[in-house]
Every structure is written in structure tokens, then in C-alpha cells.
A and B are shown apart, each in its own frame.
Chain A
């Protein structure tokens, strides 16, 4: 238990002043600007937006600078700032089918209509350190080709037409919001998806990986992965119609999973779904795998006791701000608490040595 302590104000102030100096680092090195962070550390910015659950690249860049590159600390700053803002409303669900894709790949259909577009990917790089980046390198412009205006239909749609994949019924039911109401379990899939999309990338990745290694195996294929801009529309009460209030970059992953059927469902493919703000592909794939693992009950699958099938375990441990808050508080003064533990251990030892002395007599 934590009991409040007093004192130490001057030491705290001095510690924070030193923190500011350390944040700046060697003053003979140029200071990092927010524009540089936003433009050149974009994937860090994306992670902070996704897990901070607030799309605003400038704010995320500021948070990363303030946190000295500690992304969980930056996410904490974003979460804290978000709570100070009023919420104007809820958007209409974004139409990822109409996404302006910079990347779109399918691991299941090589001839997917609309084509496979690699986009700015690390895939197929050799993961060799590029020492040209250590020098001032001029980047040659990226190649261009005439864009096709042909639509990029969803890969799952092809399977759907044949009835080979589980249906995804459209619904405009108001989804639960874990930022407004405490999480109640067992939760709905909508609640799980919200928790996963803002969950810690490392945690969600680890859970997803565990399903691949056999803890609740569900045979995923990446049916489709797409990254691009989607428009965000919201109903404006004073107008009486919806307008686009902006556009955001998102990463969407839909897995196609083998499914041999169950008591309630015929043999068919099933789906796992990942949608994350920003270009955040590892997270989106992980989210899709964990989403699928958590659907065992509705699909009539066996619970094999795998961690990734345990909704309570996954949802209560995926949030890195909750986790870091509880974990890090144990380093704060616990003197009173510890004093009582100390007394207890001394007393037990006295009793034990007393009993030994008695036995020896």
C-alpha cells in the first residue's frame, strides 16, 4: 500500500531541471524539431498515436520529444492530454474499402483484383545497416508509374461470394467505449477490438505469436493487408448532414483462418480483423490473430486454455499505461507499508528461534 509522504520538494525540482538538461543533450548538437520527429520518425509517431488512441501527428511528435524517445511515456502523455479535451461526437465508421492505398498485399491470392502494391515497406530489405544514412545522404526520388483507377475490392469478398467464409453482418449498433464505461467482461467483440487496437504492440505481438506456436492455434493467412488514407465523416448536428472532418492513415489486416466446423458452424474460413491508426502493420496483423483467437466461443471452438483465448487475461493486460502505472508505482515510497512487513518478519523470526530454543532444551 502506498501512503503519502511529504518533503523532498527541492530535490524533485532539481531532478526535473536535470531531466530537462539531459533531454536536450549536448547543446553543441542541433536541437530536434517536432517537424523532424513527425517526418523522420513517423513509425514512432504512429505507434504513439495508435496506443495513445489519439490521431494527431504533431502532438505525438511533441510527446516523443518530451519523453526523450520513451514511447510508453509518450503514450502516457497523449492519454493524459486526451482526457482534457471535450468530445464533439462519434464518426461514421470509416470505409476502408474506399481507402487510398499506398500498400495492399494478399498472401492468399496472388492475382487479387486491384493488384499487389508493396508501398514503402521494410519487407525484402536485407536488414543490413545502411551507413549512407550516417552521412548526409541525398535520397533519390521514388519511382513513379501511372496510377490505376481500378478499385481494390476486398479479398475476403471473393470467398464471401462463394459462401466459403463466415459472414460479417453489418450493424450500426452503438459499440461500447472503454474510455467512457469501465470494461465489463465477458465483453463483446467490439470491446475487444477497441482494447486491442490501443493495446501495447509488444503485448499483442506476443499473444499473437503464442497462437502461431501452438497455444490456441488457428491457422491464419493474411488474406489482405492494406495501408492508406481514409476519410473521417461525422454527422454535424447544426447542419443536419455529415461532412468529412478530416482524413487519417490506417493499417487494416484481415486474416483468413482455416476452420473445420463446429457444433454450431459449417466448415468454412473464418476471419480475424485488425485495424490500427497509422502505418502500423506488425500491430494490425497481431491484432487480427488475437481477435481470431478470442472468438473461440462464438465459433463453438474448444477452449484449450491458451492465454490468447483468455479474454480477461488479454484485455486486462494489454494496456501499457495501466500496466506501467501499476508496475512503476512500487518504486515510490512504501516506507509505512514496508515498516509493518519488517515488524512481521522480525516477529516471526523471534517466534521461530524461540520454538527452536524450546525444542533444543
Chain B
């Protein structure tokens, strides 16, 4: 996750964007039960009104020819999005992978709250555990992959 030099203290908006991008990206991939558990544990339950109720749709995923060239359409993935406004006017958005309205709803609330003082609560109690879980999952795959690393030797055929 990128550094969070920005924040409610009025630092550069680019830094705010980078931090927000990082937490929204994290929330988009968070496993439902883990996110729900961490969220319930905080008992924040802010009052909010919907700007956009949870909606299931797709995103067309693109690839590049040869991995680096011109773009082409690979296929779609399911995404759930929603937007809400807290009573104090903060707006939270969520775009999360899959078809889980409850997950999107939590993600949007977290996004809204992270823009204010609750960030101090959410960062250690929700964001960081999710980051750690994600890193651990990636690490588990990487360690197993590393154990299957091979060195191929070309046999000398002795024809000369």
C-alpha cells in the first residue's frame, strides 16, 4: 500500500487521491467474511443515505497484444457498486469485485469514514488487517511457486 502522506489535514490532493485509491483497491478485493467480521467488530454503524443503491454489473477487462501492445477485449468480470452520503456530507463510493451488495455497502461506508477522523480507528483495525491478509495470501502462493522453481540442463550430446 502506498504511503498515506495526505489526509484531512489539508495536504496535497494528489496524495489524498493516492491514499484513497489504495484503500478503495484494497476494499474491492477484500474477502466478504473477513471484511464483515472486521466491520462488525468496530460497531461504527454510521447513518447514511443512498446516492446509488448497490447495483450488480460488469466491467469489460482488457489485455494488450503481446502483453505490451495494442488493447483488446478479454472478457467481463462481475462488479458491485454503490454510493452513499453520511449525515455530515462525506460521500463514499465502492466498486468491488463480485456480486455481494453487503460487501459493497461496507466498502462505501469505510470509504466515506476514511475521509474523516474515523480514519484513525479504521486504519489499524480494518485496513491494516486486510492488507496483511492479502499479503499473506499472495505470499502463500509465492512460497509454493518458489518450491517448484527448476533449473533445466541441456544434455551434452557428444556428437563432436
Chain A residues close to B by CB (< 8 Å): 49-50, 53-56, 58-59, 82, 85-94, 96-97, 100-103, 110, 115-120, 142-148, 154, 156, 168-179, 189-191, 193-194, 197-198, 229, 231-234, 236, 238-248, 250, 252, 254, 271, 273, 275, 277
Out of A101, A178, A242, A245, which one reaches B97, CB within 8 Å? A245
Say whether B25 contacts A231, CB under 8 Å.
Answer: yes
Say whether A194 contacts B74, CB under 8 Å.
Answer: yes
A254 and B57 CA atoms in complex are apart in Å by 31
Minimum C-beta distance from B43 to chain A (A): 27
Most-contacted residue by chain A among B55, B75, B83 (CB, 10 A): B75
Query: Can you list the 6 inter-chain pairs with the closest CB atoms, starting with the nearest?
Result: A246-B97, A244-B25, A168-B69, A147-B142, A168-B66, A190-B72
**8 Å CB interface, B47-103 against A:** 55-79, 81, 83, 93, 95-99
A238 and B52 CA atoms in complex are apart in Å by 12
Out of B61, B69, B93, which one reaches A248, CB within 8 Å? B61
Minimum C-beta distance from A180 to chain B (A): 9
Q: Which residues of the other chain, A, contact B17 by a CB distance below 8 angstroms?
A: 239-241
Say whether B144 contacts A144, CB under 8 Å.
Answer: yes
Chain B residues close to A by CB (< 8 Å): 17, 20-21, 24-25, 28-29, 55-79, 81, 83, 93, 95-99, 138-139, 141-154
Q: Which residues of the other chain, A, contact B145 by a CB distance below 8 angstroms?
A: 101-103, 117, 119, 147
A53 and B144 CA atoms in complex are apart in Å by 29
Say whether A110 contacts B68, CB under 8 Å.
Answer: no
Mind listing 30 A-B residue pairs with CB under 8 Å?
A54-B77, A55-B61, A58-B98, A87-B57, A87-B76, A88-B81, A92-B62, A118-B148, A118-B150, A120-B144, A143-B147, A147-B142, A148-B149, A168-B67, A171-B69, A175-B70, A175-B71, A177-B60, A191-B72, A193-B63, A231-B25, A232-B59, A234-B95, A236-B93, A241-B21, A244-B28, A245-B25, A271-B66, A275-B63, A277-B61
Say whether B148 contacts A91, CB under 8 Å.
Answer: no
A198 and B29 CA atoms in complex are apart in Å by 25
A96 and B95 CA atoms in complex are apart in Å by 22
A119 and B79 CA atoms in complex are apart in Å by 29
Closest to B146 in A: A145
A177 and B96 CA atoms in complex are apart in Å by 24
Q: Which residues of the other chain, B, contact A97 by a CB distance below 8 angstroms?
A: 67-68
A53 and B63 CA atoms in complex are apart in Å by 13
Say whether B59 contacts A175, CB under 8 Å.
Answer: no
Say whether A244 contacts B143, CB under 8 Å.
Answer: no
State the total of A-B contacts with C-beta under 8 angstroms: 238
A273 and B71 CA atoms in complex are apart in Å by 12
Q: Which residues of the other chain, B, contact A239 by a CB distance below 8 angstroms?
A: 17, 20, 24, 93
Q: Which residues of the other chain, A, contact B69 by a CB distance below 8 angstroms?
A: 168-171
Say whether B63 contacts A55, CB under 8 Å.
Answer: no
Out of A54, A177, A248, A254, which one reaches B66, CB within 8 Å? A254
Q: Which residues of the other chain, A, contact B83 by a CB distance below 8 angstroms?
A: 238
A176 and B58 CA atoms in complex are apart in Å by 17
A196 and B150 CA atoms in complex are apart in Å by 31
Q: Which residues of the other chain, A, contact B24 by a CB distance below 8 angstroms?
A: 239, 243-244
Q: Which residues of the other chain, A, contact B20 by a CB distance below 8 angstroms?
A: 239
Say whether A88 contacts B59, CB under 8 Å.
Answer: yes
Say whether A143 contacts B99, CB under 8 Å.
Answer: no
Given contacts A110-B152, A245-B59, contact A189 B146 (CB under 8 A): no
Q: Which residues of the other chain, A, contact B25 by a CB distance below 8 angstroms?
A: 231, 233, 243-245
Q: Which residues of the other chain, A, contact B98 by a CB distance below 8 angstroms?
A: 56, 58, 246
Say whether A88 contacts B21, CB under 8 Å.
Answer: no
A236 and B17 CA atoms in complex are apart in Å by 12
Most-contacted residue by chain A among B96, B141, B142, B152 (CB, 10 A): B142
